[in-house]
Amino acid sequence: MRMRFPQPAASEITPRAVYEDRRRLIAQLAVGAAGATLAGWAQRQALAQTAAATPRPGKNLALPAPRTTLPGGAVMDKLTPYADVTTYNNFYEFGMDKGDPAEQAHRLQVRPWTVLVDGEVARPRRFAIEELLKLAPMEERIYRLRCVEGWSMVIPWVGWSLASLLKAVEPTSRGKYVEFTTLADPRQMPGAASRVLDWPYVEGLRIDEAMHPLTLLAFGLYGEVLPKQNGAPVRLVVPWKYGFKSAKSIVRIRLVEQQPRTAWGRAAPQEYGFYSNVNPQVDHPRWSQASERRIGEDGLFTRKRPTLMFNGYGEQVAGLYAGMDLKRFF
């Protein structure tokens, strides 16, 4: 029987792929749309206040200081507070609720950590995280992050262009795509024991997207080492695509000839296309993408703002898709 209550806020909508977790879904539905929105906001505020009062462990860990500061598409928006950035996350390996990663990610062991880079490359190699930190000069880049559920943030990431790593391993002519595989260890990540997705989490980019200067391997944010709930120790950031494309806690980067089968592409291909460019003209099957809510603004009554094509980075990246039907290749 179809439930008859108002459409919940986009940030509270559970993706179709998680319907199998029936207890949680039933609990969310029972609360009702208004109650769920209020409870979600109150929980987020409580987590953010706790985070703001808690010493930030990143201050005690080594991260090379960024040598340059780049605006990343001339972003002039107000930065999202650190407390919100680190307490409102999608990281299903630690749970489906936005607050779960901040509460559960302390389990993650980020040392030792290696990233295997292989596939269609002339010089495959396994990099220790300490080697990656020194592979290229660190840069601070202020990027918008837009999630498919309708919320957004503005974050000062610390890292360097993924192109630096790919050039080091020398892609061959057969390397048409780049596949990213993330850690999926149920001993450290309680959500990875669920059937929400077919683990491990896999994402992919076309080689020209991966080589674009804006595509970032991030090791930190706000000048500090990347918090575990945000994808430590290394994650991808692709600012003109929806947030789920930016794989977290990466353990393998593989160059391949065929388009990778991504985690969400396998789970719900009608909802999550391979390209996943931010596009206000192409709605998700269950909600509009024409507007968004900026986390950390105006509390419970955060106003909506228009969604920008390519998340505002069209001048830099639109040429990658010249001649493509972006409604078909969504």
Which residues, other chains included, contact 60 with Cβ-Cβ below 8 Å and sequence gap of 6+? Answer: none
pTM (global) more than 0.85: no
Buried b (16+ CB within 10 A) or exposed e, 203-236: bbbbbebbbbebbbbbbbbbebbbbbbbbbbbbb
CA dist., res. 167 & res. 326, Å (int): 29
- Residue 245, CA distances (Å) to 63, 184, 197, 200 in order: 24, 17, 15, 14
The DSSP call for residue 200 is S
pLDDT at 60: 44
Domain extents in the chain: 10-321
pLDDT at 139: 93
- List, run by run, the mean pLDDT of 10-residue segments along the chain (330 residues): 39 45 41 42 54 53 67 71 97 97 97 98 98 95 95 96 98 98 98 96 98 97 96 98 98 98 96 97 94 84 89 96 96
CA dist., res. 36 & res. 32, Å (int): 6
CATH architecture of 10-321: Alpha-Beta Complex (3.90)
